[in-house]
């Protein structure tokens, strides 16, 4: 039984088309060619230009000697709402030393009733939002000056501004406590924060590159299914495997290639060869090994099952789990059942059911056990 999402990779693609080149009929103005400097830790904090302050005193600038937290949120953002009480606790903890400002952005849509909706949400939260709150509005001035300038594309998102008006740190508000403590104490190293920020930006660029390449992979898969020629798809995924070396994504792409080769592409020889490499590389990783075995033994797309391979993978998974994982035992039992070794399958399934009695899988385990006992 598969208990993880290792058997597949979900790639999030933009909803609309992307432009990869400048229209030749619309030459770029010289001043537009220069890429603006990205907002990073150690730089001067941008002005806080909002349409309206809807709770607390208006902030007309960052005063020297005081620390500020500029946190971005929206009414539809569940994680943002969950962060409200924590931000309120921090405001209470630091008192006059820190001013926390929750800036509302990214409302859907912006119309004549949007501001009223935001105000109602703030009023509804009551003491859960015990800090300054502002509304950026449809002009999105602060959104552009802070979020877009820093290349941040998710909320909630917080920026800490130090006593000198510099951006000290940026990240998720639920992760900023140790940083805020050091900034208030004057012990935070902005250079280290900048290194962290540069590393995060590099990681994000790498992730975006993988997503772009993954679109090509999807196109290649469609073309391969239509033509029956999988060489283009193989070349594309091999490029992704190489470019993601040393990252968790590489294993996901290798798993994808393995599944496709023994499945839709119907190329069992190279597929099981890759599978053997995955089993060797995954030694000790019970969930990975189980994902390999479960796909190989039960997925409908697999045209030619190699039950010896399935047994090797499922046995390795069970050994890694020390025989104490019901879902993995269920996989191993399935392999023995497919091999025609019914007595062994029943023995293993009984143990799988026993280990899973108090879990949501219990009914399914029991039904499978009954099927094995009936010999059908």
Ramachandran quadrant class, 348 (left: phi over 0; alpha: psi -120 to 50; beta: rest): alpha
Nearest CA to 259 out of 317, 218, 303, 223 is that of 303
Residue 79 inside a domain? The answer is yes
CB-CB neighbours of 227 under 10 Å: 10
For residue 358, name the pLDDT band (cuts at 50, 70, 90).
confident
On the question of pLDDT at 18 being above 50, the answer is no
Is residue 95 assigned to a domain? yes
Tens-place pLDDT, residues 257-284: 999 999 999 999 999 999 999 999 999 9
Is 14 a domain residue? no
Find, among 296, 289, 339, the residue nearest to 315 by Cα: 289
CA pair distance 328, 291, nearest whole angstrom:
9
Q: Within a domain: residue 50? A: yes
Residue 168, CB-side half-sphere exposure with 13 Å CA sphere: 25
Query: Over 50: is that where the pLDDT of 8 sits?
Result: no
pLDDT band of 213, cuts 50, 70, 90: confident
The confidence score (pLDDT) of residue 5 equals 36
Assign 33 a pLDDT band (cuts: 50, 70, 90).
Answer: very low
Share of the chain above pLDDT 70, in %: 87
Q: Taking 60 as the threshold, does the pLDDT of residue 20 lie above it?
A: no
CATH of the domain at 67: 3.40.30.10
Q: Is the peptide bond before 40 cis (omega within 30 degrees of 0)?
A: no
In a domain, 93, yes or no: yes
Query: CA neighbours within 13 Å on the CB side: how many for 274?
Result: 22
* Residue 361 confidence (pLDDT): 85
pLDDT (tens digit, 9 = 90+) per residue, 166-207? 999 999 999 899 999 999 999 988 777 777 767 766 666 666
| 307 domain residue, yes or no | no
Structure tokens at 215: 């679109």
Per-residue confidence (pLDDT) for residue 214, from 0 to 100 = 77
| E-assigned strand segments in the chain | 52-55, 67-73, 98-104, 132-135, 157-161, 167-171
H/E run at residue 256: helix 248-262
Q: What does pTM read for this prediction? A: 0.53
Q: What tokens appear for 45 in the block?
A: 């904090």
322: left (phi over 0), alpha (psi -120 to 50) or beta: left
Compute the CA torsion angle 334, 336, 342, 346 (nearest 10 deg): -60
Q: What are phi and psi of 106, to 5 degrees?
A: 60, 35
Q: How many domains does the chain have?
A: 1
CA distance 252 to 239: 13
Q: What range does the domain containing 141 cover?
A: 37-188
What is the predicted pLDDT for the residue at 32?
Answer: 45
Average pLDDT, the chain: 87
251 within some domain: no
Q: How far apart are CA 264 and CA 277, in angstroms?
A: 20
The pLDDT value given to residue 2: 54
Would residue 87 count as lying in a domain? yes
Q: What is the pLDDT of residue 201?
A: 67
Given a cut of 50, is residue 26 above it in pLDDT? no
Q: Is 170 left (phi over 0), alpha (psi -120 to 50) or beta?
A: beta
Lowest mean pLDDT among 41-50, 126-135, 173-182, 216-225: 216-225
């Amino acid at each position: 039984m598969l208990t993880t999402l290792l058997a597949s990779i979900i790639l999030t693609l933009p909803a609309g088309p992307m432009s990869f080149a400048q229209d030749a009929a619309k030459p770029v103005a010289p001043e537009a060619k220069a890429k603006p400097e990205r907002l990073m830790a150690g730089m001067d904090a941008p002005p806080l230009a909002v349409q309206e302050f809807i709770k607390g005193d208006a902030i007309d600038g960052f005063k020297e000697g005081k620390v500020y937290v500029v946190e971005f949120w929206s009414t539809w953002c569940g994680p943002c709402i969950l962060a409200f009480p924590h931000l309120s606790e921090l405001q209470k903890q630091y008192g006059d030393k820190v001013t926390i400002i929750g800036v509302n952005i990214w409302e859907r849509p912006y119309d004549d009733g949007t501001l009223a909706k935001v105000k109602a949400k703030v009023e509804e939260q009551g003491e859960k939002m015990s800090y300054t709150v502002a509304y950026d509005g449809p002009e999105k001035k602060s959104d552009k000056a802070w979020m877009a300038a820093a290349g941040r594309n998710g909320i909630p998102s917080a920026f800490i501004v130090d006593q000198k008006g510099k951006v000290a740190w940026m990240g998720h508000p639920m992760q900023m406590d140790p940083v805020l403590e050091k900034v208030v104490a004057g012990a935070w190293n902005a250079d280290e924060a900048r290194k962290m920020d540069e590393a995060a930006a590099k990681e994000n660029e790498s992730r975006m590159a993988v997503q772009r390449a993954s679109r090509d992979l999807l196109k290649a898969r469609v073309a391969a299914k239509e033509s029956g020629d999988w060489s283009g798809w193989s070349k594309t995924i091999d490029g992704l495997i190489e470019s993601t070396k040393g990252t968790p994504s590489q294993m996901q792409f290798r798993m994808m290639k393995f599944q496709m080769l023994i499945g839709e592409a119907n190329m069992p020889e190279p597929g099981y060869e890759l599978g053997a490499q995955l089993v060797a590389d995954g030694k000790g990783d019970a969930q990975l090994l189980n994902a390999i075995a479960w796909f190989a033994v039960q997925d409908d797309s697999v045209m030619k099952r190699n039950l010896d391979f399935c047994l090797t993978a499922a046995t390795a998974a069970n050994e890694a789990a020390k025989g104490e994982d019901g879902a993995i035992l269920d996989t191993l039992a399935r392999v023995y059942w497919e091999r025609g070794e019914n007595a062994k399958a029943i023995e293993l399934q009984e143990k799988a059911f026993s280990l899973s009695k108090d879990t949501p899988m219990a009914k399914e385990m029991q039904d499978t056990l009954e099927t094995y006992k009936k010999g059908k």
